Structure 1
Amino acid sequence: MYKFEKLKVWDESLKLIKLVYSVIKELPLSERYGLADQLRRSAISISLNLAEGCGTGTDKEFKFFLRISVKSQYETVAGLMIIKSLYSKINIAKVLRQAETVGKMLHGLIRSLSKNQ
């Protein structure tokens, strides 16, 4: 088992990806290669940077990648807000709650690592 698989935030980030994919399926085909692709990449980036950070040798390096994950989480939320403004019939409330959960967990992990230094 990899180190990142032991983190609760990893599981929550995977849930977020699944929810983002469900929202993307509701978008019109005209958005599949623009907004949908960007949203997909930002959501996946959260998990990938978390995993990459776990492969580093120091807490300082790990925090660097966690901060990138936070930035990707913000980008994901912004993309969801754009969808909400363009397509009001698409319900994004559950996805936003999950994104908030992931963000809080990432910030908590960063704080925890900062206390150790």
Structure 2
Amino acid sequence: MGKISSYRDLKVWQLAIDISVASYEVTKNLPREEMYGLTSQIRRSSASVAANIAEGYGRENKGSFVQFLRIAQGSLKELETHLIIAGRVGLIHSTILSELLKQCDENGKMLGALIRTVQRKKVDEQVRG
């Protein structure tokens, strides 16, 4: 793994961006009457995942970073819920939905692992300090 010098180097952020781009693509095909409903909710929650990772990283404080990573997890679960609803009402094809949910699951696991890593480093520093 290379040196992390920016949130843009984080694989978890990169995948969140990919999911957001895919979410924007899939919502292009939703009916116009969903513009202020599911389309807006899917786009907003998908963008929020990557944005919270970046914002937390930018705080340069491990406690704040963990807090924003947890907010990103919440946004990811919100996105999954909106996608599932869109799938159940027939707005998103099941194959596309399945792939997006698979990516969300992977991103969620990555977020959880990053939270544990950051928390461990914080504790290690407190013990040494």
Under a length normalisation based on structure 1, what TM-score does the superposition of the two structures give?
0.93
Matched residues in 2 for 1:89 and 1:44: separation?
19
Residue of structure 1 equivalent to 2:40:
37
Equivalent AA in structure 2 for residue 86 of structure 1: V
2:72 is aligned with 1:64: no
Q: How many residues align?
A: 117
Higher relative contact order (CA 8 A, sep 6+): 1
Matched residues in 2 for 1:88 and 1:52: separation?
32
Greater shift, 96-105 or 84-93, is seen at: 84-93
C-alpha deviations, 1:7-43, integer Å up to 9, x for none? 0111101110111112212211111121110110000
Q: Which of 12, 28, 34 lines up with 2:15 in the alignment?
A: 12
Structure 1 ranges of 4+ moved more than 6 A: none
Residue of structure 2 equivalent to 1:93:
98
Change in 2 beyond 3 A, CA 1:54/1:39: same
Q: CA RMSD in A?
A: 1.5
Under a length normalisation based on structure 2, what TM-score does the superposition of the two structures give?
0.85
Mapped contact 1:52–1:65 kept (Cα < 8 A) = yes
* Bigger Cα Rg: 2
In structure 2, the gaps of 5 or more residues are: 124-129
In structure 1, the gaps of 5 or more residues are: none
Equivalent AA in structure 2 for residue 17 of structure 1: S
Partner secondary structure for residue 95 of structure 1: helix
**Identity over aligned residues, as a percent?**
35
